[in-house]
Amino acid sequence: MILVTGGAGFIGSNFVLDWIAQSDEALINLDKLTYAGNLENLASLKNHPHHIFVQGDIADRNLVSQLLEQYQPRAVINFAAESHVDRSIHGPADFIQTNVLGTFNLLESVREYWQSLDDAKRLQFRFLHVSTDEVYGSLQAHEPAFTEQHMYQPNSPYAATKASSDHLVRAWHHTYQLPVLTTNCSNNYGPFHFPEKLIPLMIINALAGKPLPIYGDGQQIRDWLYVKDHCSAIRTVLAQGKVGETYNIGGCNEQANIEVVKMICSILDELQPRADGRSYQTQISFVADRPGHDKRYAIDASKIRHDLAWLPKETFASGLEKTIRWYLAHPDWIEHVTSGSYRDWIKQHYQNESGV
Ligand code: NAD
Ligand code: TYD
């Protein structure tokens, strides 16, 4: 049994689906169901005996302690976070609450549980904290990619709160010997990505005939990784990672935003041409830049490659096409997310299940 937090979000739900498909081990999924949590992502697991969903907050020590006591997981994987940079600029308070205080409370509940285990289980237990490359700040064009030794220089409220959570996790290992692992990953894309983020927003706006808003000059660079590759890296770190270590995860896929949007347009031009025969690129619109916009992120993933033999499966071209095909095949999911009706899913489909 493992406990996953934030398993109804973008990466968490991909992780949960892959885990259940590939393992016989049951999973408790603790998620607060903020705007970013969508149980519709997990509709295929309804009534699955290996998926126990509990709506709740990582900061709720009583609830977390009760779950740990009841299910005795061998590992906790912490995906739960406020994760959207633009939202953190407009309202940082929720980010402090979940990413800093929530992680602190989760660590304390987990520490208490871990200390109560017998020697064999204590030795086997792992707390895996899922973090981001944004804690390292921004790179200039000529600078080498982020290694695990790179100084923490977070620039947005989101990145600062994730950096803070990483420090707490590190300290809980150093001070209390909690067996932690931390992963810092680059930008993910793929199925179930909430359409406030660049790639899904562009796909959905393009199909809806709306403008494709590019911040500033569109020359900012992100290092994109297909979400299923991130999930496989997390499984690898959980199974083989060395306690107390940090692993950078990335796909060696640096792309300028404008190029990403042009690629999306070209794939859509092929798969679902506009009625007037013109390219979706005609919908591109340059808008005001994000305040404090980080110029470039790039991950040096050589440690996980050398030490744990992990490699991504998708190239950016193959992953992006898969992603676009997924959105084209799921108009209902898009409609429910854009109309907000996904928030009713829990009432309609999970009313009688425990914990909800
Ligand atoms: P997301 O915003 O899509 O999902 C976050 C999930 O956490 C949601 O289901 C939400 O309901 C839940 N949640 C929020 N606050 C909670 C709380 N207090 N208690 C319990 N659940 C809570 O985020 P994501 O993109 O899936 O990212 C998951 C993790 O991976 C985050 O920690 C993020 O920092 C990290 N990460 C994301 C990316 C990326 O590109 N998306 C890249 C690297 C790292
Ligand atoms: P985003 O998906 O929000 O991820 P992050 O800020 O965590 O990197 O944004 C990815 C890049 O795309 C980032 O440089 C901001 C840019 N962007 C746009 O140009 N237009 C948009 O509408 C959005 C949402 C993002």
CA distance 304 to 144: 17
Question: pLDDT at position 105, please?
Answer: 98
Which backbone phi and psi does 322 adopt, to 5 degrees? -60, -45
Has residue 233 got a pLDDT over 90? Answer: yes
Question: pLDDT at position 344, please?
Answer: 78
Average pLDDT, the chain: 96
CA distance 32 to 28: 13
Q: Which ligand lies nearest to the CA atom of residue 130 in the structure?
A: 1
CA distance 208 to 234: 35
Question: pLDDT at position 340, please?
Answer: 87
Predicted structure pTM score: 0.97
Has residue 356 got a pLDDT over 50? Answer: no
Residue 111 near residue 177 (C-beta atoms within 8 A): no
Start-to-end CA span in the chain (Å):
20
Has residue 313 got a pLDDT over 60? Answer: yes
Neighbours of 103 (CB within 10 A): 27
Mutate to test the pocket of ligand 1, among 10, 231, 333 (most ligand atoms within 8 A of CB): 10
Has residue 346 got a pLDDT over 80? Answer: no
Q: Which ligand lies nearest to the CA atom of residue 346 in the structure?
A: 1
Rounded to 10 degrees, the C-alpha dihedral 164/288/189/132 comes to -10
Stretch 228-237: mean pLDDT, rounded? 98
Question: pLDDT at position 63, please?
Answer: 98
Is residue 12 in some structural domain? yes
Ligand 1 geometric centre to CA of 84 (Å): 9
Ligand 2 contact via 83 beta carbon (within 6 Å): no
Residue 158: CATH number of its domain: 3.40.50.720
Which region holds residue 340: left if phi is over 0, alpha if psi is between -120 and 50, else beta?
Answer: left
CA–centroid distance for 278 within its chain: 34
Residue 141 near residue 296 (C-beta atoms within 8 A): yes
Q: What is the residue-wise DSSP string for 257-319? A: HHHHHHHHHHHHHHHS--TTS--GGGGEEEEPPPTT---B--B--HHHHHHH-------HHHH
Share of the chain above pLDDT 90, in %: 95
Is residue 230 in some structural domain? yes
Number of domains, the chain? 1
Ligand 2 contact via 201 beta carbon (within 6 Å): yes
How does residue 343 score in pLDDT terms, banded at 50, 70 and 90? Answer: confident
What is the atom index within ligand 1 of the atom nearest the CA of 12?
26
Has residue 55 got a pLDDT over 90? Answer: yes
Express each pLDDT in 93-152 by its tens digit: 999 999 999 999 999 999 999 999 999 999 999 999 999 999 999 999 999 999 999 999
2: closest CA among 234, 207, 191? Answer: 234
Question: pLDDT at position 5, please?
Answer: 99
Ligand 2 geometric centre to CA of 84 (Å): 9
Question: pLDDT at position 352, please?
Answer: 45
At 277, list the tokens.
Answer: 């025969």
80: closest CA among 134, 10, 19, 177? Answer: 10
Residue span of the structural domain in which 309 resides: 2-189+226-250+293-314
Is residue 167 in some structural domain? yes
Is residue 93 in some structural domain? yes
Stretch 45-57: mean pLDDT, rounded? 97
Which backbone phi and psi does 54 adopt, to 5 degrees? -130, 125
CA distance 61 to 179: 19
